[in-house]
Amino acid sequence: MLSLVDLRTRIASGALTPSDAVRLAQDAIAAREPEIGAFVCRHDTPVVPDHGPLAGIAVGVKDVIDTADLPTQMGSDIYAGWRPRGDAAIVSRLRALGAVPLGKTTTSPLAGPDPTGTVNPHDPNHTPGGSSAGSAAAVAAGMVPLALGTQTAGSVIRPAAFCGVAAIKPSFRLLPTVGMKTYSWALDTLGLFGAGIRDIAHALALLADRPSIDLQSDAPAAPRIGICLQDFAGAADPDALSALQRAGLAAEAAGAIVTDLVLPHAVAAAWGCQPVIQEFEARQSFAWDYANHPDALPPALKARLDAAQDFRACDYDDARRTAHRGRRALKDVFSEVDAILTLSAPGRAPAGLSSTGDPRFNRLWTLMGVPCVNLPVPGDGLPLGVQIIARFGDDGRALAVARMIEQGLAG
């Protein structure tokens, strides 16, 4: 994989020019893209800024995020050839930092449940996950050092786990969603994919303009980590549980205080509310698409929206109240642990491309708005990942604990 921090170090030392760095990405795309299909469109001769803290960094931008210089097609015929007037706020921010938004990456249609044609770089017979399929696959295949995804249920952390890359779904609204296709305004969150924890920490600190998010030289001293199985969301595969156990042992060996964590009922109860909030808002967000282009909607999303037509506002209001109580109860949990270590997905990437996998271990955390990091756990076969979660607004802590475990697993 292309490491953002390594590229930037070489550029800063003069060993590599920004243009050379972008060319590395283009060469990798030329080699891997025909097999993987992670991009919808891209610049062949991009303009590469000479300066800026992200100069030389080629970025894959999920195709639900507006770009003025490339079409934004949402993975849907409804938006075939669509050209927004301006860039999304996050794309403007990338450009201001000197990065090169090189291409648009594939997305499940309208960031919904239906699959794309993108394949998993580790095995073309398996899904890369979704809905941020192209962004996860492009980083995993070493085609770009940074990619943007979006998560409403589990569309960043799950594909990152399936593809074996680091990713963060930051605290809700830490990164601006202006210029993104809305699925659910209470949930939609921009996320980042990178080769390792250092890479996404550095990128997030710059994009969010909060230097304290970046990793400090000292690892956190004896962080208290609670291992959470999320059994309210169903059982996980033995492989996933084994990866979680290995990550816990690595944390302990690195000096963390690791305990088992059972979430308070108020937090667990919020899990079931996430789909209610998501689909009630999606009914409104996609009202124009649903009314004017019903036949162009992909089947799984169409079925969801059909069902959502009968949802009642009072059930949505109840769900929001339950979520609010869950957030307050979760705050108390974070007075007892510094981070939660849990599953990123029920198991490895499913075979075939008919499903993007199940976001059931991601829903709760997106609803809680807390920062979530996917950390790949080394091992045989298709990738496995674990999820590190910290309190709302403490993205730096989630990253620092993830880095500590990453080093422990490597050592």
d(CA 244, CA 203): 26
Buried b (16+ CB within 10 A) or exposed e, 6-44: bbbebbeeeebebbebbbbbbebbeebbeebbbbbebbe
**Contact pattern from residue 117 through residue 156 relative to its own copies, giving x for each residue in contact according to CB under 8 A and a dash for the rest:** ----------------------------------------
**Contact pattern from residue 265 through residue 284 relative to its own copies, giving x for each residue in contact according to CB under 8 A and a dash for the rest:** ----------------x--x
Q: How far is the CB of 275 from its own copies (least distance, A)?
A: 18
Asked if residue 296 binds its own copies (CB under 8 A), the reply is no
Among 101, 149, 179, 385, binds its own copies (CB under 8 A): 179
Asked if residue 185 binds its own copies (CB under 8 A), the reply is yes
Helix (H) / strand (E) element for 270: namely helix 265-271
Among 17, 19, 92, 355, binds its own copies (CB under 8 A): 92
Asked if residue 300 binds its own copies (CB under 8 A), the reply is no
Q: Counting every residue, how long is the chain?
A: 411
Which range in 5-13, 180-188, 192-200, 243-251 contacts its own copies by CB under 8 A?
180-188
Report CA-CA distances (Å) from 40 to 30, 237, 248, 288, 296: 14, 33, 38, 24, 18
Asked if residue 242 binds its own copies (CB under 8 A), the reply is no
| Residue with tokens 């990619």, as numbered in its chain | 147
Is-catalytic flag, 131?
Answer: yes
d(CA 129, CA 292): 29
d(CA 198, CA 185): 29
| Residue with tokens 């860039």, as numbered in its chain | 87
Q: Which of 108, 132, 135, 155 is catalytic?
A: 155
Nearer to its own copies, 114 or 289 (CB): 289
Q: Which of 76, 108, 131, 184 is catalytic?
A: 131
| Helix 18-36 / helix 4-12 crossing angle, nearest 10 deg | 150
Nearer to its own copies, 264 or 393 (CB): 393
Angle at 64 between CA 230 and CA 402, to 5 degrees: 40
Q: How far is the CB of 233 from its own copies (least distance, A)?
A: 27
Among 82, 253, 259, 307, binds its own copies (CB under 8 A): 82
Q: What percent of the residues of the chain are helix, what percent strand, and what percent coil, each to the nearest 5? A: 40, 15, 40
Asked if residue 91 binds its own copies (CB under 8 A), the reply is yes
Catalytic residues: 62, 131, 155
Binding site for its own copies (CB under 8 A): 68, 78-79, 82, 85-89, 91-93, 95-96, 173, 176-179, 182, 185-186, 208-210, 281, 284-285, 287-289, 291-292, 313-314, 317, 393
